[in-house]
Amino acid sequence: MKKILCVAGTRPEAIKMAPVILSLKKESWADVVVLATAQHREMLDQVLSIFGIVSDFDLDIMQEGQELTDLTARLLVAVDKVLKNEAPDIVLAQGDTTTVMTTSLACFYNKIPFGHVEAGLRTGDISNPFPEEMNRVVAGHLAALHFAPTESARENLLRENIDDTIVHVTGNTVIDALLVTARKDFDLGIELDESRKLILVTSHRRENFGEPMRESFAALRDLAERNSDVEILYPVHPNPNVTGPAREILGGHSRIHLVEPLGYPEFVQAMKQAYLIISDSGGVQEEAPALGKPVLVLREETERPEAVQAGVVRLVGTDKSLIISEAEKLLNDSHYYSSMAQGVSPYGDGKAAERIVSILRKYLAEMVNNAAC
Ligand code: UD1
Ligand code: UDP
């Protein structure tokens, strides 16, 4: 048996690690240990329970309004302790959060191989997204195995002189999770007027906090006021830097629904029902194209260029007039809308976890052979 420690700290990590954890659990050679750092508390629990995953360790790290240095320091010490006690053969983590960066560093210090799921995403700009670009560069340079979702992610790693033989293009596990979840319909439990066009919104990026986020919220309010056939659904991220301005600028409007974060099946349902999505989320940029929904991205740069190149995702930043004009073009120009609602998915075919498991099996078997030589 090989001990594989799978780490998840935040909502998107849990969504994207769930297919890997569930696939590994079916393998007789794999002893799967799940470490929840709980960098997110409620939002992590929400996802783990939907996928029926029970963590073996829970670090309960989250504090309200946590700051990066403190979060990093506490995570590094706590993850290190688990690694020392568990001595896994390999550790897996997904993405670019502080949980992932500290996990890769703790693995390096303990000389334990680290496998990076969703490896190789880059904007090339250390401040955008902040601090995620730095987090994934660190994790990328410490990884023994890279599971790149796309060919262009692989090329990013090769440009950083990562050895080609340890980089594998697998697709993104988010598509595995999405395809399974989207098969069924779920009740949103929110009263929406079906005769109106639904705009689904998410927003949480640190680099947008303050004025940029306020400006994008002002654009959403104006959009609702200028277009009586539109309804906005916004599950608000619980970060106090988001909830405050969201309530202040978007609250009290009859066609703007500010709700708590939705469970993953309900959010997928909301994406299916949406006419248009406006978001700064990484995961949503991958999921929405697969569901044929246009996305306006509230960011200046993206590490996910494939959907932009395919013409189904558009970067609008946080400029109020650009957000309004692009959204209204999609609301009013059916040809333009159709060109962005193609249902293409450059991020995977739903079999990424299967590929990751088979690569891991080979890697761990070779580790034993090499040790025996
Ligand atoms: C984190 C990640 C970001 C990722 C995002 C996914 C870092 C630095 N940031 O950003 O890369 O895109 O998660 O959503 O790793 N909170 C709750 N309950 C929860 C979750 C969060 O109350 O279940 C509140 C807490 O006050 C917490 C704050 O949100 O302190 C911020 O959480 P944090 O994980 O530091 O940052 P995110 O913006 O969520
Ligand atoms: N999501 C969810 N409930 C919500 C909003 C988003 O389950 O209310 C899911 C969404 O489908 C996607 C993931 O959360 O898979 C994205 O998480 P987030 O935007 O927080 O982080 P990012 O992807 O930007 O790191």
On whether both 282 and 365 belong to a single domain, the answer is: no
178-185 long-range contacts, CB within 8 A, separation 24+: 178/268, 178/287, 178/290, 178/291, 178/350, 179/290, 179/350, 180/19, 180/350, 181/264, 181/265, 181/268, 182/268, 182/272, 182/291, 184/265, 185/269, 185/272
What value, to the nearest 5°, has the Cα angle with vertex 137 and ends 211 and 354? 110
On whether both 49 and 78 belong to a single domain, the answer is: yes
* Distance from residue 13's CA to the centre of ligand 1 (Å): 11
Q: Whose CA is nearest to atom 28 of ligand 1?
A: 239
On whether both 72 and 136 belong to a single domain, the answer is: yes
**Using a 6 Å cutoff on CB, does residue 187 contact ligand 1?**
no
189 occurs within a structural domain: no
On whether both 244 and 366 belong to a single domain, the answer is: no
**Using a 6 Å cutoff on CB, does residue 40 contact ligand 1?**
yes
27 occurs within a structural domain: yes
Look up the domain containing 241 and give its range. 197-340
Q: Give the total number of structural domains in the chain.
A: 2
Smallest CA-to-CA distance from 153 within 117, 129, 125 is with: 117
* Distance from residue 26's CA to the centre of ligand 1 (Å): 31
On whether both 360 and 259 belong to a single domain, the answer is: no
CB hemisphere CA count around 271 (13 angstroms): 29
Q: Are 311 and 340 in contact, with CB atoms under 8 Å apart?
A: yes
CATH number of the domain that 140 lies in?
Answer: 3.40.50.2000
How high is the pLDDT of residue 343? 83
- Lateral strand order in the sheet of 30-36: 57-58, 30-36, 2-8, 90-94, 114-117, 145-148, 167-169
- Token pair for 88: 């896994």
* Distance from residue 310's CA to the centre of ligand 2 (Å): 22
312 occurs within a structural domain: yes
- Helix (H/G/I), strand (E/B), else coil: 369: helix
On whether both 143 and 202 belong to a single domain, the answer is: no
Helical H segments across the chain, by residue range: 11-25, 42-50, 68-86, 98-110, 132-142, 151-159, 173-182, 211-226, 240-250, 264-273, 282-290, 305-309, 320-332, 334-340, 352-372
Sequence-ordered list of residues with C-beta below 8 angstroms from that of 135, at least 6 positions apart, any chain: 96, 97, 98, 100, 101
How high is the pLDDT of residue 344? 85
The pTM of the full predicted model, rounded to 2 decimals, is 0.98
Q: Token pair 């994934």 is at which residue?
A: 136
How high is the pLDDT of residue 373? 63
On whether both 165 and 217 belong to a single domain, the answer is: no
Smallest CA-to-CA distance from 217 within 236, 230, 198 is with: 236
How high is the pLDDT of residue 370? 75
Question: Relative to the alpha carbon of 181, which ligand is closest?
Answer: 2
What span, in angstroms and rounded, lies between the C-alpha atoms of 100 and 117? 10
Smallest CA-to-CA distance from 203 within 177, 174, 239, 249 is with: 239
**80 catalytically annotated:** no
177 occurs within a structural domain: no
On whether both 6 and 140 belong to a single domain, the answer is: yes
303 occurs within a structural domain: yes
How high is the pLDDT of residue 367? 81
121 occurs within a structural domain: yes
On whether both 126 and 220 belong to a single domain, the answer is: no
On whether both 10 and 151 belong to a single domain, the answer is: yes
**Using a 6 Å cutoff on CB, does residue 65 contact ligand 1?**
yes
**Using a 6 Å cutoff on CB, does residue 10 contact ligand 1?**
yes
On whether both 308 and 354 belong to a single domain, the answer is: no
On whether both 206 and 159 belong to a single domain, the answer is: no
184 occurs within a structural domain: no
Ordered DSSP codes for 15-29: HHHHHHHHHHHT-TT
pLDDT (tens, 9 = 90+) of the chain, 373 residues, equals: 999 999 999 999 999 999 999 999 999 999 999 999 999 999 999 999 999 999 999 999 999 999 999 999 999 999 999 999 999 999 999 999 999 999 999 999 999 999 999 999 999 999 999 999 999 999 999 999 999 999 999 999 999 999 999 999 999 999 999 999 999 999 999 999 999 999 999 999 999 999 999 999 999 999 999 999 999 999 999 999 999 999 999 999 999 999 999 999 999 999 999 999 999 999 999 999 999 999 999 999 999 999 999 999 999 999 999 999 999 999 999 999 999 998 888 999 999 999 999 999 999 998 877 776 6
Local structure of residue 187 (DSSP, 8 states): -
Smallest CA-to-CA distance from 233 within 177, 308, 293, 182 is with: 293
What span, in angstroms and rounded, lies between the C-alpha atoms of 212 and 217? 9
213 occurs within a structural domain: yes
Q: Which residues line ligand 2 (CB under 6 A)?
A: 11-12, 15, 174, 202, 204, 235, 261-262, 264, 267, 281-284, 287
